[in-house]
Amino acid sequence: MSNRTLSGQAAIVGIGATEFSKNSGRSEMQLAVECVTQALADAGIDPSEVDGISTFTMDNNPEIEVFREIGGKELKMFSRIHYGGGAACGTVQQAAMAVATGVCEVVVVYRAMNERSEYRFGAGMQDTAAEPDFETAHYGWYIPHGLVTPASWVAMNAQRYLHETGATSEDFGRVAVAAREFAATNPNAWFYEQPITLEDHQNSRWIAEPLRLLDCCQESDGGVALVITSAERAKKLNKEPALIKGAAQGACDDPQMMTHFYRQDITRLTEVGLVAKQLYKQAGLTPDDIQSAIIYDHFTPFVLTQLEEFGFADKGKAKDFVRNGEIKMGGRLPINMHGGQLGEAYIHGMNGIAEAVRQIRGEAVNQVDKVENMIVSAGTGVPTSGLILGKG
Amino acid sequence: MTDQNNNKELEALMAETLGVRVGPHKSWDPVNQPMIRHWAQAMGDQNPMYTDPEYAANSSEGSTIAPPTMLQAWTMRGVTGQHAPGTRERTAEQPYVLDILDEYGFVGVVAVNCDQEYFRTLKPGDDISHYMEIESISEKKDTALGTGYFVTELWTFVDQNEEKVGEMRFRLLKFIPPKSDNKPQSSGSSKPKKAVRPRPGINRDNRFFWEGLKEGKLLIQRCKSCETLRHPPSPMCPSCRSLERDAVEASGNGVIHSFVNLHHPALPAFDEPNPIALVELEEGTRLVAGLVGIEPEDVKIGMAVKAEITQCDEELTLALFRPVEA
């Protein structure tokens, strides 16, 4: 029992991405195969070697078609992870487990979407057909009252968070300002050279009060892929590997899809706490061992909550952490150096994992000094997942 | 004067406007890189031919070009409505056909379509003007919007050498709006008849709740085995795993545990901002519901509220909540 561990068995050895835009001008499938082959080239692994694939249930590109187009030969594992952006690090966990157990040798994970030009998750569920399936019925508790968007669901938790912690809209704003500051110096970011001030944030319009426009991430077109193989093989490949020291999923405490309104304390993200607990245990690390993090930022309020759940701030105290500039370069825990989903692009968290790999390699545009270990989180407000990546 | 005479008079007046060329309408600025960049950014068009001088230098054009679809932008008057210097404005001898149609009651207007043709690429430094003439006017047509005439304007764009660089055909329908008894109220604050609210998906697990509302009751599911109350409903009791269940009627008294004032998206069935609360009922369960009888800015966590079972439309009855007077 004691020697069963996922930690250190596999590594991310290749990253690939398309450009990030508002209109890719091509199909989601094309984005998928572009980023997948780019990630394999980055790793120096021939596409014909891919024998495992994992992606999101929300991805529209079937694993077998991606596999067919890249010239795959034998696919031995294919899986889909549910719950929107909560899947991001879960796909890497699937890959690591498949590699660690010897089921697969080379696993590719990807997320490719025309989320701005073709789908727009942010537009709302107001036109949902009243079907009897569970998830549609679930949203039936909210949409007849006008609570139809992801922003509106997060706002419900955020309002209570402000009430209980004394945090303010400006504290949410500090998260956005920090992200846009990093994006401003990342040429791949949609908001390259477009920083914002706290005043800009405070002047941005209400979307779902207490969320302002600049508390909400972008809607983006683009694709990101990662290649995972064994730690052993990783040593012989092109790039410095990002060792998977921890990989976890979590759902607990009356879990709901975006609407955890019924648990006793709705200001917490207990599933993130569950992920954090597993990650630290798997990796044998504590928050003190983590130099930097990718904290999923679809909406700013949950960045504060995640900092608390990962143990970087006490409950209700993340506001002080961001007020002190601890999430910026030179702070205790610089986060989202690519600009996050607020600043770079919203690729359901996969672009954040790629950034963590660049940080571990030391090749990021906004490079943090002396990075040994990084936390990466996934979509929140939903069953979620996380990683600890580090130097081998 | 009969309608028919009226039409003849109108059509004669309109015919005189055909082919009368008005202009030139000058540009405030020559074709320039900053406006090109703003346009490309606003459109999300990343073609480097528009904005990247190095890239464009190596192309067959030899330098950056303006997006062809910007054609109409160069000679626009801008927000003040003033004409650019050098513009020759329409004179009294050149009546505008749309003004004539207004006088005859064809006050409705809708743009129908717009076609542009480009004869050469425009580059920074080009100085663009346009001339406009009425190319054609249709016979009187009955349309879904009302009776009217289709008018086609021909815009000719020329450069600093008066050489034609592009053309635009812009077609409008000018029509008599049908008489209506449901005119929008001038006060403007209340909307016309609202669209229906989004429907819930109803299934075998939650049907009792929605049917309860139609009978005027706000129900909370109860486990028949351990008597724990639960919402949202589910077939199995998470406390004791029993599948046996019934429901109790809630008193309707509750407290606002949290709330959202929804501004965006604007939904036809709701006012904005739309206050929506997470209500904790005195029985202990919570549910999400719209608030009535309170201004969004006055909503506070901890406020006492009472359910008001409301028939929102023929099919949908909801429990909305109203603050209880202290």
- CA angle (A35, A37, A39) in 5-degree steps: 65
Residue type, A277: K
Distance CA A134, CA A114 (A): 27
Residue B140: CB partners within 8 Å, gap ≥ 6? Answer: B7, B147, B148, B149
Q: What is the pLDDT of residue A2?
A: 58
ipTM for the whole complex: 0.96
Whether the bond between B268 and the residue before it is cis, its omega within 30 degrees of 0, is: no
**B114 plus B217 within the same structural domain:** no
Helix (H) or strand (E) holding B56: helix B53-57
Alpha helices in B89-173 (DSSP H): 97-103
Asked if B267 lies within 8 A of A141 by C-beta distance, the reply is no
Domain that holds residue B272: 207-323
| Rounded distance between C-alpha atoms, residue A299 and residue A295, angstroms | 11
Q: What share of chain B is helix, strand, coil (3-state, %, to 5)?
A: 20, 30, 50
Backbone angles phi and psi of A154, in degrees to 5: -65, -35
The verdict on B163 and B283 lying in the same domain is no
* Å between B146 CA and nearest CA of chain A: 30
Q: Three-state DSSP class for B179? A: coil
- Looking at the fold, whether B285 and B154 belong to one and the same domain comes out as no
Same domain, B146 and B254: no
pLDDT value of position A123: 86
Instruction: Looking at the complex, report in whole angstroms how far the Cα of residue B26 sits from the nearest Cα belonging to chain A.
Output: 34
Paired sense of beta strands A384-390 and B22-26, if any: unpaired
Same domain, B298 and B247: yes
Residue B218 sits in the same domain as residue B272: yes
CATH number of domain containing B20: 3.10.129.10
Which two tokens mark B133? 């003439």
Confirm whether B181 is domain-assigned: no
B256 has which bridge partners? B279
Same domain, B21 and B123: yes
Q: Tell me what pLDDT residue A30 has.
A: 98
**A296 included as an active-site residue:** yes
Query: Cβ of A160 and B200 within 8 Å?
Result: no
What pLDDT, on a 0 to 100 scale, did the predictor assign at position B74?
A: 94
B1 token code pair: 């004067």
With an 8 Å Cβ cutoff, are B197 and A146 in contact? Answer: yes
Q: Is B245 a domain residue?
A: yes
Read off the tokens for A176. Answer: 């956005």
Task: Give CA torsion, residues B268, B269, B271, B277, to 10 deg.
Answer: -130
Q: Which residue has the tokens 């998977």?
A: A244
Chain B residue closest in CA terms to A132: B203
Residue B196 Cα, gap to closest chain A Cα (Å) = 9
CA B134 to chain CA centroid, nearest Å = 30
Q: How many domains does chain B have?
A: 2
Q: Is residue B234 part of a domain?
A: yes
**Inter-chain CB proximity A159 and B260 less than 8 Å:** yes
Q: Which two tokens stand for residue B289?
A: 């519901």
Cβ separation A146–B276 shorter than 8 A: yes
Name the phi and psi angles at A303, rounded to 5: -65, -45
Query: In which residue ranges of chain A is pLDDT below 50?
Result: 1
| pLDDT in 10s for each residue of chain B, 326 residues | 456 677 888 888 899 999 999 999 999 999 999 999 999 999 989 999 999 999 999 999 999 999 999 999 999 988 888 889 999 988 888 889 998 998 888 989 999 999 999 999 999 999 999 999 999 999 998 888 889 999 999 999 999 999 999 999 999 999 998 775 444 444 444 445 568 999 999 999 999 999 999 999 999 999 999 999 999 999 999 999 999 999 999 999 999 999 999 999 999 999 999 999 999 999 999 999 999 999 999 999 999 999 999 999 999 999 999 999 86
Query: Residue B233 belongs to a domain with what CATH number?
Result: 2.40.50
Together in a domain, B164 and B232? no
Facing residue for A146 by CB, picked from B262, B286, B287:
B262
Domains of chain A and any CATH numbers: 10-118+224-390 (3.40.47.10)
| Closest alpha carbon within chain B to A23 | B44
Q: Which residues pair with B137 in a beta bridge?
A: B151
User: Which structure tokens are listed for A315?
Assistant: 């409950």
How do residues A25-46 score in pLDDT, each as one tens digit?
999 999 999 999 999 999 999 9
- Inter-chain CB proximity A136 and B201 less than 8 Å: yes
Indicate whether B9 and B139 sit together in one domain. yes
Task: Reduce the DSSP state of residue A80 to 3 states and report it.
Answer: strand
The reply to whether B9 and B99 lie within a common domain is yes
Q: How many CB atoms lie within 10 A of CB A319?
A: 22
Helix, strand, coil shares, percent, chain A, to 5: 40, 20, 45
Chain B: give the shortest CA distance to residue A116, in Å: 11
Strands (E), A102-147: 106-114
A160 touches chain B (CB under 8 A): yes
